[in-house]
A and B are shown apart, each in its own frame.
With several copies, the nearest count.
Chain A
Amino acid sequence: MDLREMARRVEPGMLLALPVDYAGVSMAMTKPLIEHGAGDLRLFCVPTGGLQVDQLIGAGLVRSIETSAVSLGEAGGAPRFNQAIREGTIAIRDATCPAIHAGLMAAQKGNPFQPMRGLIGSDILRFRDDWRVIDNPFADGGDPIVLIPAVKPDIAIFHAPMADRHGNVWIGRRRELAAMAYASAQTLVTVERIVDENLLASEMSAAGTLPSLYVTDVALAPRGAWPYGLWGEYPTDTAEILRYAKAARTPEGFAEYMASSGASSMASSPATSPSRPALEPAQ
């Protein structure tokens, strides 16, 4: 499976679930998504967004975003996101991390909603007309509690260390990636490597495996989280994120950055073509 081919599964208006920066962001898919050009996307950040979200917004593909935060971490605010918010060009639904997880959990369980504590009296709740507050039916009266409706993304996209030839994906202790897949209609995964052994064959590897039952497509993309790091694999390239943060302060700088080799090599290198088995990291 080639990254461009995988990107074609995304259709205009779809709801995309994307993971937090340290869990396994498929940065390798960012450029193919932009080149594919399906717009009007609704992003659902699990539970926060960063570089990928900022780049999709900068490319004009995003209609709305639901998230608990968007930032570039040590590199500061997310410039394309911040400008879009300032100018009102995207709609935002501010959430809080456990509410994001609650929406996915409701979908995972086939439930219409999931309750959660907190939130009462916050402006997050005040601006969320899609959430409900009921009185806890198990209390003697009063005890308001928020209900978060199920969130069923059309597509979840993430990056993981490995998959096997059956389509099972090893996600380790990053269980939010499983939660995203359970909740989503389709799940697209890029991986560092494809292994020969069946990941479900040993209890040790099975414990951290998302079964192929939940996986639509897998594509090879070594260093596919770059410039983010991947747990257990490689660290974050902070210098590159700082370089992006600086460049993307203006739309022009953003466009230049995205057109530059650093950003595009992930998509255009022979590495991601189906004819090449061995892949080079983008540098």
Chain B
Amino acid sequence: MREVHPREILIATIARLLDGVRHVAVGASSPIPAAGAMLLRAQKKRAGAPPVRLSILGSVEHNFFTNGSAELFDCAGQGRIDAFFLGGGQIDGRGNINLVGAGEYPGSTPRWPGSFGSAYLYFVVPRVILFREEHSSRVLVETVDFTSAPGTSEDGVYRTGGPAALLTGKALFSFDKTRPGFTLESLHPGHDLAEVKAATGFGFAHAGSPKQTEAPDRATLDLLRGQIMDELSETYPDFASRLRSETAA
């Protein structure tokens, strides 16, 4: 068995984080979350468990929506979407995310595209997974420069959703909304606590010697490298062929 690719760790971790969802939506250009959701769907199907529904926004293949671009948000508002992924140019230690820009608003430099649906979905999707491969103190900051959506809300604010986890290229964190703050759950293979601390602009809770992020077992890896890459290549052909060539090395 070949070495496990770092992105395969991410995909398998996402599948674990999604365990139990009935319907997960992923953004149009999110191949790793999509692959994780496809992996979970395949695992559940093999186990004869209730089906997992995956909606990929902007995809024709995986578009279950017929009411325009408002339907995703309506669907989430109805409680029909259990999990979603958000990223951000900045993510801070309280789970606040910034998709708008660095520096003083509105003259943000750099300016990022904008908040998209985050200021709604972060509130109403029960299991939001913050996903950003880049793990640096540029991205993971003490305090965001602009809050596209806050990580937590005061009591009395309607909120059925929020951050469940933060997954980066180096580590996996869970989110504790009572503190609020992140807890290091595991380090991906090849990364250590000192490195992660240095690369993280906010403080986080952690065990004395953190666990290593679980690598996919052989059955999972076979599924991932076979069926899942086939499915993925329908929607993300470039990503799938790149990952395939890198794992075939």
Contact = CB atoms under 8 A, between A and B. Distances in A.
Interface of A: 20, 22-23, 46-48, 67-71, 73-74, 77-78, 81-82, 85-88, 91-92, 94-99, 101, 105, 107-111, 116-125, 127, 136, 142-145, 173-179, 182-183, 200, 206-214, 231, 282-283
B67 interface: yes
B77 interface: yes
Contact of A97 (B73, B101, B147): B73
Contact of B106 (A92, A136, A178): A92
Given A86-B111, A175-B68, A96 B120 contact: yes
Nearest to B122: A118
Interface residues of B, number: 57
Nearest to B121: A118
A122 B86 CA distance: 15
Contact of B70 (A92, A144, A176): A176
Given A69-B116, A177-B68, A143 B108 contact: no
Contact of A73 (B29, B69, B158): B29
A20 B147 CA distance: 23
Interface stretch (B57-65, B197-205, B219-227): B57-65
Interface in B145-181: 146-150, 153-154, 156-158
A110 B117 CA distance: 15
Interface in B26-61: 28-29, 51, 53, 58, 60
A122 B105 contact: no
Contacts of B99: 69
B100 interface: yes
Contact of A213 (B23, B77, B118): B23
Given A82-B111, A182-B78, 10 more contacts: A69-B99, A94-B115, A96-B118, A96-B149, A116-B120, A119-B123, A123-B100, A127-B106, A144-B156, A175-B66
A144 B107 contact: no
B75 interface: yes
Contact of B148 (A74, A107, A122): A122
Contacts of B80: 213-214
Across the A-B interface, the 3 shortest Cβ-Cβ residue pairs: A110-B77, A69-B114, A175-B68
Interface of B: 23, 28-29, 51, 53, 58, 60, 63-71, 73-80, 99-101, 105-124, 146-150, 153-154, 156-158
B69 A23 contact: yes
12 contacts: A69-B115, A77-B110, A77-B111, A96-B116, A96-B120, A119-B119, A120-B153, A120-B158, A127-B106, A142-B156, A177-B68, A182-B78
Contacts of A177: 68
A121 B115 contact: no
Given A67-B114, A177-B68, A88 B107 contact: yes
Contacts of A86: 107-109, 111
A98 B70 contact: yes
A111 B77 contact: yes
Contacts of B29: 73-74
B67 A173 contact: yes
A22 B113 CA distance: 16
Nearest to A81: B111
Contacts of B78: 107-108, 110, 182-183
Contact of A70 (B73, B114, B120, B123): B114
A179 B100 contact: no
Nearest to B72: A97
Specify which of B64, B107, B121, B153 lies most central, judged by the most chain A CB atoms within 10 Å of its CB: B64
Nearest to B155: A142
B70 A211 contact: no
Contacts of A94: 100, 106, 114-115
B110 A121 contact: no
B113 to A, nearest CB: 4
A68 B106 contact: no
B213 to A, nearest CB: 29
